[in-house]
Amino acid sequence: MLHAAAMHIYLDYNATTPVDREVLEAMLPCFAENFGNASSIHSCGQRGRSAVDAARDSVAALIGAKPAEIVFTSGGTEADNLALFGAVAASHRSRKHMITTAIEHHAVLNAAQALEKQGIAVTYVAVGSDGVVDPQDIRRALKPETILISVMHANNELGTIQPIEKIGRIAAEADVYFHCDAVQSAGKVPLQVEGLGVNLLSISAHKIYGPKGVGALYVRAGTSIEPQFQGGHHERDRRPGTENVPGIVGFGKAAELAEINREADTAGIEILRDRLEEALTRVLPAVRVNGNGSRRVANTTNLTFAGAGGEALVIALDLQGISCSTGAACSSGAVEPSHVLLAIGLSPDEARSSLRFSLGRGTTSEEIDRTIAIIPRTVERLRALSPRALNAVHAR
Amino acid sequence: MPNQRVQLEPFCGSADTRHSTQATVAEAPAIAEPSGHRGDTRGVAHVAVAMSGGVDSSTVAAMMSASGRQIVGLTMQLWNQRRLPQLQSAEPVQHRCCSMDDVYDARRVAEHLRIPFYVVNFEREFEKNVIRPFVDEYLEGRTPIPCTLCNNHVKFDQLLLTARQIGAERMATGHYARVRHNPESGRYELLRAVDESKDQSYFLFGLTQEQLARTDFPLGELSKGEVREIARRLQVPVAEKPESQEICFVPTGNYVRFIESYLHEQGRRLPEEAGDIVTTAGEMLGQHNGLHRYTVGQRKGLGISEGRPMYVVALDRAKNRLVVGEDRELRSTTCGVRDVNWIPYAVPEGLVRAKVRIRNRHEPADAEITAVGFTDARIVFDEPQRAVTPGQAAVFYSGERVLGGGWIR
């Protein structure tokens, strides 16, 4: 059954991406040579400051923002937390309500649940089986005390793109802050904050071939948020802490490259993704593409292999040199099936039989061919050994 | 009330030792180091090794890896300790099954050996097949063996299935026992470990032919000392003692608190707390505070003073009474067993002479066994046995062979 893995095929770019060589080269001098503290007065610190400023320009350019609107953070999770807790804390209303969706990343969902414990009312808007939220459902969830809407741009598990522009208009009409978690869409679709109509937007470097441990929150001019850490006056009093100069510089370079490479990246990747989907659904019975038919980012596919346990399938594929995942990396090892897949109507068993493949800049046609060759026999082996597999396959 | 139990020792054997930060390296490894990048060994995993993070299963992985076998390490995540935080001890506990520490240890060993390694989550299966029956058995007045439930329904069932699903046809564990194929009968037989002091066959009586056929117990021929020697020679990075005597998910050993905390978490109430303590003649001696706190054979912690040693003789669930008596009243000549698994043959006709072990570390006693239907059996001991405890296993031996076993009614 198993064959020595001649090459390693990485199909988990939504979990993280390798650091681009150019990004790495931009970062390296910032460790031991230009090591200055960007907040220091002396020339050594000033070099750090100008490197951070240049990176801020690049990150701002990626999303069509002004540099002053960029707050660097330790990553997407901190950006989401700063957006939610920061916006809620900045509101002086006596009763507060926020709206989000059932398919958000845990960085938003768990932050919303923590806010609920503080007495903030939260509405979790359901999504359709297509993995897309209906803007009218967001509108219907509005209350007089609503202060914030938070909806992700591209879903990390399905790749489905949410109608952010429409929700942005609804938020503007209602005079409600609008936060968008764009961690999975940055570099994959054009991101222009003006068009999206957002007040707050989270992005992360390591999803766009930058380093881990750095992200940013876009805070539109005039939008007030309370800092969530206490400390110095960094990031215009919105996020204290010595700037992570190497990380920020890497983020800046990654943002530049994402803008340059986006079209070249996505067109080729979409062809490969579609070929993978087409082949697997043709060769194997009882395979479903989740979120199919919706607008999706080009690199992501989420497939249910009825009757094949996702955890065992991920391991079996890894032993054959293919890296993929059962869902969000942050949920790996969890008992509960993916909340995203449940939200689009899958049963717990179906959700546990689903895998996410996410392609990237390094994915080759040869790798996809090999993946198409390996997956069917691996799934068939699992199904042959799974007590419930036959029913699951025949029920379709 | 502190609970004093007779020597039941319900630990499974997957529980073994924990590393100290200073692993002793006695000598250079006699066997060549596994070569190459970790990725090089991927691909043809013929055997999955169930790795607990302890020295026994780690040594199994090291032995098989050193002999050139293609292996994959699997560690089961069975129980989330954060669920019942009130059970966390302030003191560092010797061994916590399923704690991140054990997963860390197992991963460290796998990295040292450069073998592929995965943590598989069986929390749902473990709760359904081990935790709930464990709690319910105590509430029914029995004294369960969670390790055997885990072996039967999780480790040699779900984990073996996962092993096969990922391409390994066999699974090796760190148990001290042996499997042998009998060409005459065509059946797989379960044998005691060569090292009688480490023998864990008692906990494995429920294994089916299909399970035995796919199982390797590489430590069954070795003594604990030899295993430790091999571990040192192969520089297995989990070192020096101590062994656990506790149930893996009750690291403090306080199973009463576990049961009560679990019931609380589940929104279930303990059925009838206090009740009478009576003698076998019906004489009332005092009050107990929940039958789940007692086990047959228990002497201490009864809170009665009779001037003579009194023991728990039975737990009368129907009347919520704790029945106590003198030592002689604790002895019985017969018992019934349910869910019997016969190993070297199908259900036997007529009497079977065997030595029967009624708890781990019990000196097997001569007895005659009669199968009752397909699932039950009746045991008649030659000599009366002390504290035959409902919920424990009766395991039948003929010499080194395990003939089978069942659960004491």
pLDDT tens, B245-285? 678 888 778 888 899 999 999 999 887 688 999 999 999 99
Partner A contacted by B183 (CB < 8 A): no
Answer yes or no: do B58 and B129 share one domain: yes
* CATH H-level superfamily of A9-17+262-394: Aspartate Aminotransferase, domain 1 (3.90.1150.10)
Does position B69 have pLDDT exceeding 60, yes or no? yes
- CB burial class (10 A; 0-12, 13-18, 19+) of residue A258? buried
Q: Do domains A9-17+262-394 and A21-258 have the same CATH topology?
A: no
Residue B78 covered by a domain: yes
Q: Hey, what are A60's tokens?
A: 């701002």
Contacts of A124 (CB under 8 A, 6+ apart): A100, A101, A102, A109, A112
Query: Is the pLDDT reported for residue B96 higher than 60?
Result: no
Q: Which residue has the higher pLDDT, A365 or B32?
A: A365
Convert the pLDDT of each residue in A313-357 to its tens digit.
999 999 999 999 997 665 555 568 899 999 999 999 999 999 999
CA B256 to chain centre: 18
In a domain, B256, yes or no: no
Q: How far apart are CA B120 and CA B114, in angstroms?
A: 19
**The pLDDT value given to residue A388:** 61
pLDDT per residue over A139-173, tens digit each?
999 999 999 999 999 999 999 999 999 999 999 99
Strand partners, B182: B187
Nearest chain A CA: its distance from B161 CA (Å) = 7
| pTM of the complete model | 0.88
- Mark yes or no for CB contact A316/B120 under 8 Å: no
> Looking at residue B240, what is its pLDDT?
61
Comparing A89-93, A206-210, A245-249, B254-258, the range with the smallest average pLDDT is B254-258
Does B150 participate in catalysis according to the annotation?
Answer: yes
Q: Residue A144, class by beta-carbon neighbours within 10 Å (0-12 exposed, 13-18 middle, 19+ buried)?
A: exposed
B42, B120, B164 ranked by CB distance to A385: nearest? B164
Q: What pLDDT does residue A183 have?
A: 98
Looking at the domain assignment, is residue B48 inside a domain? yes
Q: Three-state DSSP class for A350?
A: helix
pLDDT tens figures, B152-170 = 999 999 999 999 999 999 9
CB pairs under 8 A between A and B: 62
The Cα B122–Cα B154 span in angstroms is 8
* Farthest-apart Cα atoms in chain B, separation: 74
Is B47 near chain A, with CB under 8 Å?
no
Q: In the predicted model, is pLDDT for residue B36 greater than 50? A: no
Residue A303 pLDDT greater than 60, yes or no = yes
Burial class of residue B192 in the structure, from the number of CB atoms within 10 Å of its CB (0-12 exposed, 13-18 middle, 19+ buried): buried
Q: For residue A8, which residues of chain B lie inside 8 Å, CB to CB?
A: 39
Residue B102 pLDDT? 79
Tell me if A302 sits within 8 A of A290, measured CB to CB.
yes
- We report the CATH number of the domain holding residue B151 as 3.40.50.620
Which residues, at least 6 apart from A268, have a Cβ–Cβ distance to it below 8 Å?
Answer: none
Task: Please tell me the predicted confidence (pLDDT) of residue A116.
Answer: 98
Task: Give me the residue from A4, A321, A385 closest to B165, CB to CB.
Answer: A385
Average pLDDT taken over every residue of chain B: 85
User: For A160, which DSSP code?
Assistant: B
pLDDT tens for B339-359 read 999 999 999 999 999 999 999
- pLDDT surpassing 90 at residue B81: no
Q: What's the rounded Cα separation, in Å, for the pair A385 and B383?
A: 47
What is the pLDDT at residue A4?
A: 43
pLDDT, residue A25, reads 98
Question: Chain A within 8 Å of B162 (Cβ-Cβ)?
Answer: yes
In the Cβ-directed half-sphere of B382, how many Cα atoms lie within 13 Å? 9
Per-residue pLDDT at B150 exceeds 70:
yes
Looking at the structure, tell me whether residues B401 and B305 fall in a common domain. no
Alpha carbons B364 and B357: distance in angstroms, whole number? 4
What was the pLDDT predicted at B191? 98
A 10 A CB-CB count for B282 gives 9
Q: Taking 90 as the threshold, does the pLDDT of residue A92 lie above it?
A: yes
User: Is A15 a residue whose pLDDT tops 50?
Assistant: yes
* Residue B104, in any domain of the structure: yes
pLDDT in the model for residue A164: 98
Given B43, B121, B161, which is nearest A319 (Cβ)?
A: B43
CA gap B354, B397 in Å, rounded: 6
- Number of structural domains (chain B) is 3
**Range scoring the smallest mean pLDDT among A1-15, A275-289, B291-305, B328-342:** A1-15
| DSSP 3-state of B256 | helix
Which of B43, B123, B162 is opposite residue A4, by nearest beta carbon?
B43
Q: What is the pLDDT of residue B289?
A: 87
Nearest chain A Cα distance for residue B43, angstroms: 4
One domain, residues B56 and B79: yes
pLDDT at B98 over 80: no
Residue A64 CA to chain centroid, in angstroms?
19
Q: Quick one: B313 and B389 in the same domain?
A: no
Mean pLDDT of B133-144: 93
* Tokens of residue B292, six digits: 């789940």
Element (H, E) at A372: helix A365-385
CB contact under 8 A, B42 and A321: yes
Q: How far apart are CA B340 and CA B374, in angstroms?
A: 8
Q: Are B297 and B312 spatial neighbours (Cβ–Cβ below 8 Å)? A: yes
pLDDT above 90 covers a percentage of chain B that reads 66
Here the contacts of B79-82 (C-beta below 8 Å, separation 24 or greater) are B79/B123, B79/B126, B79/B127, B79/B131, B79/B248, B79/B249, B80/A335, B80/B123, B81/B251
A336, closest residue in chain B (CA to CA)? B124
CATH number for the domain harbouring residue B337? 2.40.30.10
- CATH number where B312 lies: 2.30.30.280
B351 and B316 both lie in a single domain: no
pLDDT of residue A148: 98
Q: Tokens 């020697």 identify what position? A: B229
Angle at A92 between CA A96 and CA A107, to 5 degrees: 55
pLDDT of residue B28: 32
* CA-atom Rg of chain B in angstroms: 22
Angle at B264 between CA B262 and CA B265, to 5 degrees: 65
Q: Is the pLDDT of residue B242 over 80?
A: no
Site from A319, A324, A331 to mutate, B interface, most B CB atoms within 10 angstroms? A319
Distance from CA of B123 to the nearest CA of A (A): 7
Q: Between chains, do B43 and A386 touch, taking CB under 8 Å as contact? A: no
Sign of CA dihedral A218, A222, A228, A232: positive
Q: Which domain holds residue B381?
A: 333-408
> What are the b/e assignments for A9-46, b being 16+ CB within 10 Å?
bbbbbbbebebbeebbebbeebeeebebebeeeeeebe
Scanning the structure block, which residue is given the tokens 């129980």? B79
Q: What mean pLDDT do residues A81-87 have?
A: 98
Identify the pLDDT of residue B91. 54
Per-residue tokens: B358:
């009624």
Of A385-394, B205-214, B394-403, which range is least confident?
A: A385-394
Q: What is the ipTM of this complex?
A: 0.88
Structure confidence at residue B22 (pLDDT): 32
Task: Give the model's pLDDT for residue B83.
Answer: 81
**C-alpha distance from A3 to closest chain B C-alpha (Å):** 5
Are B167 and B316 within one domain?
no
Quick check: is B260 in a domain? no
Q: Pick the closest to residue A326 from A296, A303, A360 (CA basis).
A: A303
CA B175 to chain centre: 10
Higher pLDDT residue, A386 or B227?
B227
Q: In chain B, what residues touch A311 (CB-CB under 8 Å)?
A: 120-121, 162
Active site residue B97: no
**pLDDT above 60 (res A393):** no
Q: What does the buried/exposed string (b/e) look like for B283-311 if buried means 16 or more CB atoms within 10 Å of the residue's CB?
A: eebeebebbbbbbbbbeeebeeeeeeebb
Distance between CA atoms of residues B81 and B379, nearest Å: 39
Residue bearing tokens 């398919």: A103
**Cβ A182 vs Cβ A203: under 8 Å:** yes
Q: What is the mean pLDDT of residues B355-383?
A: 96
The CATH number of domain A21-258 is 2.60.120.960: no
Question: Which residue of B43, B77, B161 is in closest CB contact with A2?
Answer: B43
**pLDDT score at B7:** 41
Contacts of A23 (CB under 8 A, 6+ apart): A209, A210, A211, A250, A253, A254, A257
- The sign of the dihedral angle between the CA atoms of B251, B255, B260, B264 is positive
Whether residue B200 is contained in a domain is answered as: no
B36 interfacial to chain A (CB closer than 8 Å): no
Task: Answer whether B95's CB lies under 8 Å from B253's CB.
Answer: no
Mean pLDDT rounded to a whole number for chain A: 93
* A239 pLDDT above the threshold of 60: yes
Is there a single domain that holds both residue B366 and residue B285? no
- Please state the rounded mean pLDDT for residues A17-45: 96
Which pLDDT value is given to residue B9? Answer: 40
Distance from CA of A280 to the nearest CA of B (A): 19
CB contact under 8 A, A8 and B39: yes
pLDDT value for A216: 98
Domain boundaries, chain A: 9-17+262-394, 21-258
